[in-house]
Chain A
Amino acid sequence: MPVREEQGTKAWQRRDRGTQFAIWAGWLAGTAVFVYCWQLISDKTMWHFVIDAPAQAADLGERMVPPDWAYLNKLWRPTWDTINIATLGTVLALVLAVPTAFCAARNTTPSAAIVRPIALFVIVSSRSINSLIWALVLVAIVGPGVFAGIIAIALRSIGFCAKLLYEAIEEIDESQVEAIRATGASGAQILAYGIAPQVLPAFAGISVFRWDINIRESTVLGLVGAGGIGLQLNASIMNLEWSKVTVILLVIISTVIISEWVSAKVRHAII
């Protein structure tokens, strides 16, 4: 109790002693963990490299400007590929995410004992593994190129889209579904009239949101050979052509900013 009586006057503290102590202990433990982690990182760090970093940065900066603008003309196609990887990957992911989400949502799953855990595992695996790792695997299977990138983006996005979508499905208003069921509608009709209208705005929002993220992700898939502007980035870095790297980075940043703007506009229009 934060209020204590002491010789007739009431004292007040924000928290009682136990809570206060617990909070201090929590901070102390947190700080200790942080310091410990820091110690371990610093043990593995070559500090003279770090100290040398400003000089390195200055050197790099010198080589990066002026940008090699002529190189811009060779970047249109990779940029187009990057956008395609993101868009087609997102579309593919959505096609696969919708059934997964319905299987994973508590209120629509066909079987809570078997199907739901499987769907949840699919979601968490897909979410845990970065698209770059998926790309690494896929390049080995289907060969390098845009196709591997699309599949990698799709595999990574299924989990993200399905997770947000199944949460939206679980939050729907059950009474509306009940009302449709009361009319004698079949399962598919309930889905179409009771559930779909309620989750459609969420679905549209999630799609655009993920597309925006995927643009960013697809810029690096080329590093492992899965197509897009990352290929050029990787090549330029390998060849130490830093003035080209600058141009590529500028193209990436503008693509990402434009896609973010588009995504914000579309989401705004939906809501």
Chain B
Amino acid sequence: MTTAAATRRWTKPPFIKDPRLRWGLGLGAAIYLAFAFGTVDVNWMRVIEGLPRGQRFVAGFFPPDFVSRWAEILDGIYESLWMTVASTVIGIAISIPVALGGARNLAPAPIYFLCRGIFAVSRSFQEVILAIFFVKLFGFGPFAGFVTLSVATVGFYGKLLAEDIEDMDPEQAEAVRATGANWFQWLNYAIQPQVMPRMIGLGLYRFDINFRESAIVGIVGGGGIGATLNTAFDRYEYDSAAAILLIIIGIVMVVEYTSGYVRKWVQ
């Protein structure tokens, strides 16, 4: 390549064209990482010390003990499932009108901002934070968990549904409006068919998430399998905890497999 003076050199053009931006971003990332690692004071002694303990800890998980706490586990799983079903249904039922209000092409500005505000607030707080408050308000038990998951569902499902409504084909909507349809007929004939497959897909996805989250709202008193799990940890019954975790994994796998199948079917 370097033999002839006329040889043209080629190098791969960089991903970011502007060299200042490129180096700036690189430098920024390096500085950030340096600072971040600097402030994470890992107590390596503690970690090393913890490793054998961790080993024992992990060993405590095996073999998983399904038997001795079976009744409590079953109870917790059932409770989680009820919470999941109820909160998914109610959450979706509430999010549909909110999503209509949160779609820019349907709602006037004040309603739009109100609904988007609802999404932002309910999405900003992790389920556990919501659960702490609802347990405070409604007392311990599955009702608080149910309310938590419903609120979280509104934020998740409503926002994604609103975005889907915004992405719909306006021509189809216009055509139905031109027939003299009223607003509800318009929703039913022009909007609903367009967003239905995604609504079902998202609903199943949220069901899956709600089940997983139901395992943690219990940690702060929101009922469900999380409560059982927390008790198992508190009693140092790690073998039972392992059993619970495996059951959660199993159920999530089943739900995921089923929902993948249903989604293909509604397309």
Contact = CB atoms under 8 A, between A and B. Distances in A.
Contacts of B121: 253
Contact of B213 (A46, A56, A130, A233): A130
Contacts of B24: none
A46 B129 contact: no
Contacts of B62: none
A147 B85 contact: no
A147 B47 contact: yes
Contacts of A41: 79, 82-83, 86, 142-143, 146
B63 to A, nearest CB: 17
A50 B143 contact: yes
B40 A37 contact: no
B138 A49 contact: yes
Interface string B195-228: 0000000000000000011011001100100000
Contacts of A140: 53-54, 57
Interface in A32-75: 33-34, 36-38, 40-42, 44-46, 49-50, 53, 56-57, 60
Given A128-B252, A143-B47, A223 B220 contact: yes
Q: Helix, strand, loop or mixed for chain B's interface?
A: helix
A201 to B, nearest CB: 11
Interface string B64-89: 00000000000000110111011001
Contact of B132 (A38, A53, A217, A237): A237
B40 A150 contact: yes
Contact of A49 (B32, B78, B139, B142): B139
Given A45-B143, A220-B126, A252-B125, A147 B137 contact: no
Nearest to B125: A252
Given A34-B85, A44-B223, A223-B220, A142 B125 contact: no
B249 interface: yes
A87 interface: yes
Interface in B93-139: 120-121, 123-126, 128-129, 132-133, 136-139
B215 A233 contact: no
Interface in A185-231: 216-217, 219-220, 223-224
A257 interface: yes
B253 A33 contact: no
B7 interface: no
Contact of A125 (B41, B46, B53, B249): B249
Contacts of B132: 237
Contacts of B36: 84, 87-88
A84 B139 CA distance: 34
Q: Which interface residue of A33, A46, A130 has the most chain B CB atoms within 10 A?
A: A130
Contacts of B173: none
Contacts of B50: 141-143
Q: Which interface residue of A88, A129, A133 has the most chain B CB atoms within 10 A?
A: A133
A130 B40 contact: no
B248 A129 contact: yes
Contacts of B86: 34, 37-38, 41
Contacts of A137: 57
A143 B54 CA distance: 10
A82 B41 CA distance: 14
Contacts of A237: 132
Nearest to B135: A49
Given A223-B128, A253-B124, A132 B216 contact: yes
Contacts of B220: 223
A49 B140 CA distance: 9
Q: Which 4 A-B pairs have the closest CB atoms?
A: A49-B139, A141-B54, A37-B82, A45-B143
Interface of B: 32, 36-37, 39-43, 46-47, 50-51, 53-54, 57-58, 78-79, 81-83, 85-86, 89, 120-121, 123-126, 128-129, 132-133, 136-139, 141-143, 146, 212-213, 215-216, 219-220, 223, 229, 233, 245, 248-249, 252-253, 256
